[in-house]
Structure 1
Amino acid sequence: MQSLCVFCGASAGHDPIYREATRAFGQTLAEHQIELVWGGGHVGLMGVLADAVHAHRGKSYGVIPEFMAERELAHPFATQMVIVDSMHTRKATMADRAHGFVALPGGLGTMDEFFEILTWAQLHIHHKPVGLLNVKGFFDPLLILIRHMVAEGFVKQVHLDQLYVADTPEALIAAMCLHRQPEGDWLAKVTPDRG
């Protein structure tokens, strides 16, 4: 695991535990020499995360759209900062760079990024691990909803089983480092052989 793309809030939330957990996650990335790939911002939990990686001499790769960079939202201490033309390019660039994905507490943007990357895993567009750092049970309601989708036949259990969930950075990273790509080629099973 050389790099992790982390999705998290541009706000910090009301409870200080979110900042503390994000800071601990950034420190853990640096200690394990895992490059942080993130949206490049310096505000909210995104800023806390990048600050922690920088404070512990880790590497970071930020990807920020030009309109956000122009508003001076880009983190000043990123090891490398890439300015792109759109949110779509931002997400694709982060996905290409990362060896795995983790969502920390956040809002609508975090959920958008998380569900897109989880859907790509479901469709076998990528075979990288996807995880949730479940700080203070933040994602419990979401997990209840996804289990309900499984029970109602809209999501397969195998796809829920591929999601890593832990409440500490060490436990989550350890589990994700054991991730193995599924056997076989799913696309071959649904695409006719053209011979």
Structure 2
Amino acid sequence: MAAICVFCASSRTLERRWLELAAETGAELARRGHTVVSGGGCVGMMGALADGARAAGGRTLGVIPQALVDLEVADLASDELLVTDGMASRKTLMVDKSDAFLTLPGGLGTLDELFEVWTTATLALHAKPMVLVDTDGFYRPLLDWLATLAEQTFLKPAGLDLLLIADTVPAALDLLESRLT
């Protein structure tokens, strides 16, 4: 099937529900036959995602900068671990290796990755589907702000429409899969 890149938090101090969401996402991707592409970390939601995928028999591909390998947070259990020279090259390689993108709750790094792939999609540099999982309204304030940007013409409505929104992981994966065929 497809290589689905998942952006999510790598913080070690998250509530259990976010770790469970990530593990369930990895397992669901594996059940559907997809390869999980991630930032290559073994901590936080990123680690739970990869562990969940492998526990369900899925394949994982991690992309991590050498600086994070040096901090001993690399997912050494990954089926394939690609090491880059920095964060920018990491994002580029993640985009190149992926057929679609799924964004779970996260912080600045997650938003950086989401906005990178979204911006490049609005510039027609790729046509890969992107879905934001808005579990429990996590991203609602951001989505409201983005709608305001479109209303004020800082963001074209067509650009806003490129980012698909789902409340659950199964619904998000259904959206992604419908765009991959």
Question: TM range, normalised to the smaller chain?
Answer: over 0.9
In the alignment, the residues of structure 2 paired with residue 15 and residue 44 of structure 1 have an alpha-carbon distance, to the nearest angstrom, of: 10
**Aligned ranges for residues 37-186 of structure 1 at < 5 Å?**
37-179=37-179
Q: CA deviation at 1:16?
A: 2.6
- Contact residue 104 and residue 134 of structure 1 kept, 8 A: yes
Conserved in 2, the CA contact under 8 Å of 1:54 and 1:77? no
In 2: Cα distance, 1:162 partner to 1:180 partner: 14
Pairwise CA distance, 1:14: 4.3
- Distance in 1 separating the partners of 2:26 and 2:167: 14
Tell me the secondary structure at the aligned position of residue 89 of structure 1.
helix
Cα distance in 2 for partners of 1:13, 1:145 equals 27
Match of 2:15 in 1: 15
Where do 5+ consecutive residues of structure 2 fail to align?
none
Higher-Rg structure is 1
SS of match in other structure, 1:78 = coil
**Please, which moves more after superposition, 96-105 or 160-169?**
160-169
Deviations, residues 3-43 of structure 1 (Å, cap 9, x unaligned):
11111111156433212211111111000111011110001
> Taking structure 2 as the reference length, what is the TM-score of the superposition?
0.95
Residue 10 of structure 2 aligns to a residue whose secondary structure is: coil
**CA RMSD across the alignment:** 1.5
Q: Distance in 2 between matches of 1:160 and 1:180?
A: 19
Deviates more, 1:92-101 or 1:71-80: 71-80
Cα pair 2:8 2:106 within 8 Å, conserved: yes
Whichever residue aligns with residue 132 of structure 2, its letter is L
Are the counterparts in 1 of residues 4 and 100 from structure 2 also a CA contact under 8 Å?
A: yes
Q: How many Å apart are 1:113 and its aligned residue?
A: 0.7
CA distance in 2, matches of 1:82, 1:68: 12
Tell me the matched-pair count. 181
- The 1:145–1:88 alpha-carbon spacing in structure 2 relative to 1, beyond 3 Å, is same
